[in-house]
Amino acid sequence: MTFSMQSLAYGLLVLAMGQGLGLVILARILRKARRSAEEFAVLNQTLENLHTELASVQERLRKLEAPPASEAPQAWPRARSSVRVTRRADAAESGRPRRGPTLITVPSLAASPVANAVPSAREDLGERHAPIWNLADSGVSADEIARITGQPIGQVELILALRQHKASKAGMGGASHS
């Protein structure tokens, strides 16, 4: 079998074209692999960022769910008064309890025996507001006092303002008591 020069040239040409085509295909595969590696690195970095953010959110959630260290037990002495039972005015409107201090409470008149003897106003105030006054004297803010005692913030602010007003009247030598 003799090969002619022409058939040898065609054979070499086919072989060269096959190698060229193989190189083109190999180059494309390498480009895709490099692009995939870059995409993988970006996805890996995004995943790490999401893990970090998740840990941060979980830590914030733990802090929100944990009671503050300064929170006192909820066994506060109830104020001695003819009206004892109150309900949250803002909770009844939405049908679900709200977070934070209540601005206004509505007394329940069903539990108010009007005929009971009431102690003197000065004794009653000292006894009723002692927990609030003690917390205020120790430097606790009105918001914190409201949260700790379960009293509405407006009521706590009013009690503290009346006490301050009463103290300033007593300091001025005023003998009027109201």
d(CA 31, CA 145): 66
pLDDT tens digit sequence for 110-137: 555 544 444 555 566 677 888 898 999 9
Distances (CA, A) of 82 to 103, 105, 129: 21, 15, 15
Both tokens of 111, joined, read 């539990």
* Per-residue pLDDT at 82: 47
pLDDT greater than 50 at residue 178: no
Whole-model pTM?
0.32
d(CA 131, CA 3): 113
Q: Cα 29 to the chain's mean position, in Å?
A: 50
pLDDT tens digit sequence for 60-117: 888 888 776 665 555 455 544 444 445 555 554 555 555 666 666 666 655 555 444 4
Both tokens of 94, joined, read 């939405």
* Per-residue pLDDT at 173: 60
Ordered by start, the domain boundaries in the chain are 1-66, 86-171
- Eight-class DSSP state of 88: E
